[in-house]
Structure 1
């Protein structure tokens, strides 16, 4: 086969219509050229492996020892590469609370990487969030979501701002949600002290995402259902979940799936710079984080500070711990986030004509074996033998 054409044969393929055993997927250039057909000489033999679409992360702050909030392009490249090697072929970079002008500067750097094809968009998390639910955000830098300031940050993304997390109960919150919706930017409810009624108003105003549902918001009370119930019960809302076994008990993740279904769940990492690294001290915006036994917590106060999760681990946990089907896991890790970002026509499923963004997993353990992005092998290409030639 020529350098820009290849085919994977003998693999289990997780397709939109179901799972195909011993399937064949051909790649030409950067695209999936076709599905099906008999194995040909030169095909890569993927017997014993499962192929799924590349993962899409809506919410990630860093990895590989680097942070998207550093404002340094080389660090952002390091973070993107670290997650790419774990199967995240499409990344929306997330910022953290900082001085408005500094976050605007970070956005300018990130927007250049969007234009270069490294990132797929920018997500602003903070500073327009609740003091009472600020988590790993510096309280003294938090602000009410004045629509003019929200618009300033949105514009700093130079057309690449995809999502804003804010607390709708704050002054200007609902107005900002309406403005973001009109601009075509996802308004996400998170780090909020909102009640049930205000959350419903935010959804009616255009909010369509729950930022890491359950975390950094009031819990469910029998006479005060709070934001969680409002976000779970409304079919217009997609809920983010951090499935690392630390942020949420598996039974809580199962509750969310039982209520919303896989079509409304996006599994995210919310990872900070320690993802893919070892224990130690790491920056998260202007704050310091200590990672011990893979758990990230603020040095001051001890709040959980993002995660060290990668999406290959989230996929494996979804199937082996939660008992989700392969199609359900693919839906939450690829299809739903791709659709939210407006990229469903090009990524998120294994279909002819879409980008050749693929993750290859061992069919027994679901350990990551290889990653392809835009038809280029990132890791693992040397694992596979080629089908023999005729005698």
Structure 2
């Protein structure tokens, strides 16, 4: 038995491949230096090659989650440091998430600075496998659509905020703002400074949403939740999200945040090229037995799959990405291919990371998830490094 930790070149076979576009049978994935070096017919391998037999299932691009508030008992707001990021990333990796954006819910400027510094360190030093960037959800939101965000911490955006946010040095910074609270000129400055702007927690009209899109806004945060709804004379944020093809829309597919029938209708209505993609909006309860935690001084409880404040307001979710994929297949009637794209390729495209993630392609980073026939996660790899149950290592002669 070879020592897999000492093997610098990996060959994976024995599973059906989903490469981001379609399925491939009888193929082997060759990994070198953390990247996919080749995808070749299994029969063409050197007979003396050492390989890992995955024993069936589907090998797909690892899931990418653009909205992760916590996991493993940690809330990013409460532990905005490298160790907190590591715990959260480890908790979500067991559910197939190989790339995530730690998400800071509206908080103080000091906490914001601390989490930016932590993500800078995690990404620059590559010290936390799976952390790809940062999502700041607030504090530049509409008080009328605050949801579980602390109203006392919501504030207006100023020029100094723009200067700070465009000078963090982060390659990928995702910022959720309310377009009825942040002027188009500020959105344009953010976008020109490299920030990916998403719209959410807002009472904006359709026209205000369109002005934000024209200024460069690219996404919508948890479509339908905490935003002006679609009606026949006032399309609102929901109407803008579906009508403007430039917008990519995150959805929380757990059956609690949005009714499945509404999501099915929205999927049919969404104008492209922007797509709808899966996010978890996960809280510390994911990967943790504890049912209670505190958010900005308020008690939050998990019960029957819902995570709420004491007044019943939804406060994030208890969802993981593998659950979201299964929900998309079972409840939304999507093909397996489309559900997997919504968990990997589409978020990568939204975030401008599809040159490195979201596909099984030569040159892409070897971030992979192995799923069984019930779409449960068996193993993951980040930059070719595996986690979970060890597959057998054998020779083609065995």
Q: TM-score, normalised by structure 2?
A: 0.91
Q: For the Cα contact (< 8 Å) 2:17–2:27, is it kept in 1?
A: yes
Alignment check: 8 A CA contact 2:76 2:103 kept: yes
Q: Does residue 106 in structure 1 map to residue 110 in structure 2?
A: no
Contact persistence 1:144–1:173 (CA under 8 A)? no
Structure-2 separation of matches of 1:173 and 1:290:
36
1:164 aligns with 2:168: no
SS of structure 1 residue aligned to 2:141: coil
**Could you say what the CA RMSD is over the residues aligned between the two structures, in angstroms?**
2.1
Q: How does 1:82-101 map to 2 (within 5 A)?
A: 82-101=91-110
State the alpha-carbon separation in 1 of the partners of residues 118 and 163 from structure 2: 18
> CA contact under 8 A between 1:45 and 1:387: conserved in structure 2?
no
Query: In structure 2, which of residues 349, 356, 361 is the aligned counterpart of residue 339 of structure 1?
Result: 349
Which residue matches 1:22?
26
**Counterparts of residues 131-146 of structure 1 (less than 5 Å):** 131-146=143-158
- Output the CA distance in 2 between the equivalents of 1:258 and 1:274: 32
Counterparts in 2 of 1:385 and 1:251: CA distance versus 1, 3 Å: farther
User: Does 2:376 match 1:367?
Assistant: yes
Cα 1:101–1:152, aligned 2, differ >3 Å: closer, same or farther? farther
Aligned residues: 385
Q: 1:139, CA displacement in angstroms?
A: 0.5
2-side partners of 1:226 and 1:193: how far apart? 7
1:162-182 C-alpha deviation (Å, 9 max, x unpaired): 111111112x43232111111
Distance in 2 separating the partners of 1:278 and 1:246: 20
Match of 2:160 among 110, 135, 148: 148
The aligned runs of 1:127-276 (5 Å cut-off) are 127-155=139-167, 157-160=168-171, 162-170=173-181, 172-260=182-270, 264-276=275-287
Q: After superposing the two structures, state which structure 1 stretch, 123-132 or 255-264, moved more.
A: 255-264
Structure 2's unaligned 5+ residue stretches are none
For 1:309 and 1:17, how far apart are their aligned partners in 2? 25
Where do 1:370-389 residues align within 5 Å? 370-382=379-391, 384=392, 386=394, 389=397
Q: Residue 332 of structure 1 aligns to a residue in which SS?
A: helix
1:161 and 1:4 map into 2 onto residues whose CA distance is 29
Equivalent pair of 1:32/1:353 in contact (CA under 8 Å): yes
Deviations 1:40-66 (Å, cap 9, x if unpaired)?
A: 564333343001101111111110001
Q: Secondary structure at the match of 1:164?
A: strand
Q: Could you give the per-residue CA deviations for residues 135-181 of structure 1, whole angstroms, max 9, x where no partner exists?
A: 111011111222322433453x33345111111112x4323211111
Q: TM-score, structure 1 length as denominator?
A: 0.92
